[in-house]
Amino acid sequence: MTTVSRGDTPESEPATEPGYGARAGLGNGPYTDASTGAGSEPGTGPSRAGPGSAPGGGPGIGPETGPPTRPDAAQSAAAAAGWLGALGLVGLLTLGLLGLSLLSLGFGAAPLTWAEVLAGLLGVGPEEHRLIVQQIRLPRVLLAWLLGAALGMSGAALQGLLRNPLAEPGLLGISASAGLGAVLALYFGLTAVSLWALPATAMAGALLATLLLYALTRGGASNLTLILAGVALSSLAGALTSLALNLAPSPASVQDIVLWLLGSIADRSLADVRLVLPFVAAGLALLLAAAPALTLLTLGEAEATSLGVHLPRLRGLVIAGSALSVGACVSVTGTIGFVGLVVPHLLRGLVGHRPGRLLLPSALGGALLVLAADLAIRLLDTPQPLMLGVVTALVGAPFFLALVLRSRRALA
């Protein structure tokens, strides 16, 4: 194959290129010819009159073609504002989380002031306060953090990976599958064998569900396919859970399992927190490592790959991260839905819709939401204590319905 000499090609007509150069102004690129710098003349230059120059000029570029070398202050300011905005959002959410946590630590049968809570946390106050804060209320708050962070960040990451705003660990059956894993551990008495059996089986269930889900929806499935896959997975996990209940040897164990399935962070201990903390931390770290690639996935899988994203690695990070963090939490708290749907949706606009930037705020927002829901349950003071999973579903399901209504055109 021969290289064509320029003389063969019509576009080498001199008239075209200067006009183009003015528009191109790729001044800082490796291909810059110093002489194209002269092209900073307005695109309305004489070159447009030349033959074949039709593609060269456009009226819209006149005033904007100014000196192209000047770094655009507005653009960098906008970029800085974007980062500041994201940082500000993270800071705000963190402050809110800490404030609400103090409130939650102080609230209860024995109300404590903020000072008493802090003293109890540090172990400098009366022994009674220390016990109440550290042994009874702190595990609840810490579990709310872990659970909310796991659900929020997993939701945001799954939405980025599947490029679908309706992805969520609960809706997609990941939580239900983790629940099934945990129920099986309870049913077969594995919990007596090892303390780690429950989180291990729950994480295995979550992992299996996430892998299956990915296989069903790879290559950008429609909303409909995604939701159907989630419904199928949830139903399967639910049916198998029901089977376990059905065959359960004693009514007492049935009640245990059902109560646990409803989802709650009440009456947990610091041992529970210690059990799930390493897995949640590892899961969140995996998800955060996927952040830049998730943003690139906005362009679709092919272009993201062409920009250097390693898709199998990205999928592995998100799937393993979600399974670890959600699975571990479910093993202690039971299934709690919709947090991963609601939180990223509320925060997405505040981070410029960039999936990578959504992860950390979603974790904080998720923690905030779970903590608030838990506080609301305690404030409501119902005759029977409300379960956290019931409340999040009562709030989240209508929210989901509204989202579906909004995207019903896409579903149809």
Partner 1 sequence: MSAKSVHSASVSAQAGGPESPKLLSVAGLSVQLGGRTLVEAVDLDVARGEIVGLIGPNGAGKSTIVKAIAQLLPHRGDIRLDGAPVGRLGARARARRLAYLSQDDQVQWPITVAELVALGRYPHRSGWGGTPGAGDRAAVEAAMRAADVWDLRRRRADQLSGGERARARLARVLAVQAPLVLADEPVAALDPRHQLEVMALLRGHCADGGGAIVVLHDLTLASRFCHRLLLLDRGRAVAAGPVEQVLTPAHLRAVYGIAVVSGRHRGQTYIVPWERDDGPHER
3-state secondary structure 332-387: HHCCCCCHHHHHHHHHHHHHCCCHHHHHHHHHHHHHHHHHHHHHHHHHHCCCCCCC
Q: How far is the CB of 224 from partner 1 (least distance, A)?
A: 16
Shorter beta-carbon distance to partner 1: residue 55 or 123? 55
Q: Of residues 62, 88, 99, 220, which one binds partner 1 by CB under 8 A?
A: 220
Q: Of residues 247, 302, 379, 412, which one binds partner 1 by CB under 8 A?
A: 302
> Is-contact 40 68, C-beta < 8 A?
yes
Interface mask toward partner 1 for 362-381; x: CB under 8 A: --------------------
Q: How many residues bind partner 1 (CB under 8 A)?
A: 74
Residue type for position 398: P
Q: Which stretch binds partner 1 (CB under 8 A): 77-85, 109-117, 225-233, 268-276?
A: 77-85
Contacts with partner 1 in 121-180 (CB under 8 A)?
163
Distance (Å, rounded) from C-alpha 327 to C-alpha 341? 17
Q: How far is the CB of 93 from partner 1 (least distance, A)?
A: 21
Distance (Å, rounded) from C-alpha 71 to C-alpha 69? 6
The two three-digit tokens of residue 121, written as one number:
């946390």
Q: Is 88 helix (H, G, I), strand (E, B) or coil?
A: helix
Q: Residue 7, Cβ neighbours under 10 Å: how many?
A: 6
385 lies in the site for partner 1, by CB under 8 A: no
219 lies in the site for partner 1, by CB under 8 A: no
Distance (Å, rounded) from C-alpha 125 to C-alpha 112? 12
Q: Which stretch binds partner 1 (CB under 8 A): 74-82, 135-143, 189-197, 362-370?
A: 74-82
Shorter beta-carbon distance to partner 1: residue 65 or 101? 65
1 lies in the site for partner 1, by CB under 8 A: yes
Q: Which stretch binds partner 1 (CB under 8 A): 240-248, 259-267, 304-312, 324-332?
A: 304-312
Q: Of residues 153, 183, 297, 329, which one binds partner 1 by CB under 8 A?
A: 297
233 lies in the site for partner 1, by CB under 8 A: no
Q: How far is the CB of 183 from partner 1 (least distance, A)?
A: 36
44 lies in the site for partner 1, by CB under 8 A: no
Contacts with partner 1 in 344-363 (CB under 8 A)?
348, 352-356
Contacts 24+ apart (CB under 8 A), 401-408: 403/165, 403/166, 403/341, 403/345, 404/166, 407/165, 407/166, 407/223
Q: Which stretch binds partner 1 (CB under 8 A): 34-42, 88-96, 126-134, 189-197?
A: 34-42
**What contacts 189, CB < 8 A, 6 or more positions away?**
none
Q: Of residues 46, 62, 79, 88, which one binds partner 1 by CB under 8 A?
A: 79
Q: Of residues 46, 52, 62, 278, which one binds partner 1 by CB under 8 A?
A: 52
Question: How far from chain centre, in Å, is Cα 224?
Answer: 20
Distance (Å, rounded) from C-alpha 148 to C-alpha 151? 5
Q: Residue 271, Cβ neighbours under 10 Å: how many?
A: 10
Distance (Å, rounded) from C-alpha 232 to C-alpha 216? 11
Interface mask toward partner 1 for 3-32; x: CB under 8 A: xx-x-xxxxxxx-xxx-xx-xxxxxxxxxx
Shorter beta-carbon distance to partner 1: residue 118 or 288? 288
Q: DSSP label at 134?
A: I
Rg (CA), the chain: 28
256 lies in the site for partner 1, by CB under 8 A: no
